[in-house]
Structure 1
């Protein structure tokens, strides 16, 4: 599954030219984003929609409040990224329907995560952890790749939310399963870094 996300990001990058048509919403930035920044920003918009849509769908299967709560948070993340797209004159790649995506590989991933998440509540919590791990890793990479203060600020804020989400899913999984959560995408070092960052938010 680690390779899956890398391949999705590659494919999404190739589609950037088709998705990034200028639109006049806000004044143009002093300096336009480079190709890497543009591709990453567009992908993060789809990525946040993936998270929101998965949580909304899983909320229909379980009474646990976390899926409703975090799906609302992911909507806020989507809104923050949309403001950046408007700021930089980029067309929104996100489709309106739940589970509908402009990149086939993301659509397929949504399907596979839902199929996994409906197996059991514990598995649904693992799906949540999986999504948050990837969100954090991608946001870390995005911050490393940009020197745009506006992007960096929003990405950092999204990271804080994802740290909290990850900790919540880890705690619920461990409580329900009585087993330790093992990182699914992150290395052990990256996982510990995420937990440490989360602890700073308390």
Structure 2
């Protein structure tokens, strides 16, 4: 069993919409990251500049989000944290580099979603939530169930990874439906491509 530094994921409050991600999951068959300023998780190799938002120094214009789109953004934040926390737990248990690599990627994804939430004044449901802890009960129950499944064996953990990424792809596609805000479109587009790559990696 490997020893890793645990990370506390920071940022605020409960949003019921994240339960939609839990429902989707139920249907879907190196050195550790370090804490940056304010407790923000940082990927291996130092701080990233929110590359999921696009080219560094180039900021897409903001748009308008409906209430449904605002709650979907918060749900995506909890999903990114759930994926990160699961993969970190599996990286501690199994000597498989894929979990380390994808957990590191999830930190940059969460940073990108947080940037959007800050920009649109949306309360972040992952604030002050320790690893493995979630504000939304449905997401907490989903995490607990997937963690239990993945601790059974290495193959079971890889299966959980496929389940998470499949659900993530479904949630992101739904989040993109009807979305017109350029900055949110770019972030979701990058996250969707990344999740497709993650799913392919778990399949291999």
TM-score (norm 2): 0.69
CA drift at 1:88: 0.5
Alignment of 1:1-202 (within 5 A): 8-9=19-20, 32-95=64-127, 96-171=129-204
Distance 1:7 1:45, change over 3 A: closer
Pairs aligned (count): 150
Q: How many angstroms apart in 2 are the aligned matches of 1:36 and 1:168?
A: 32
Q: How many angstroms apart in 2 are the aligned matches of 1:145 and 1:74?
A: 25
Q: Which structure's relative contact order is higher, taking Cα pairs within 8 Å and 6+ residues apart?
A: 2
Contact 2:62 2:182 in 1 (8 A): no
Which protein is richer in helix relative to its size? 1
CA drift at 1:112: 0.4
CA drift at 1:31: 5.0
CA drift at 1:160: 1.1
Contact 1:37 1:145 in 2 (8 A): no
CA drift at 1:32: 4.0
Return 5+ residue gaps in structure 1 as ranges. 1-5, 13-28, 172-202
Contact 2:63 2:180 in 1 (8 A): no
Runs of 4+ in 1 over 3 A off after TM superposition: 29-32
Return 5+ residue gaps in structure 2 as ranges. 1-16, 24-60
TM-score (norm 1): 0.70
Larger Cα Rg: Structure 1 or Structure 2? 1
Corresponding residue number in structure 2 for 1:196: none
Contact 2:18 2:72 in 1 (8 A): no
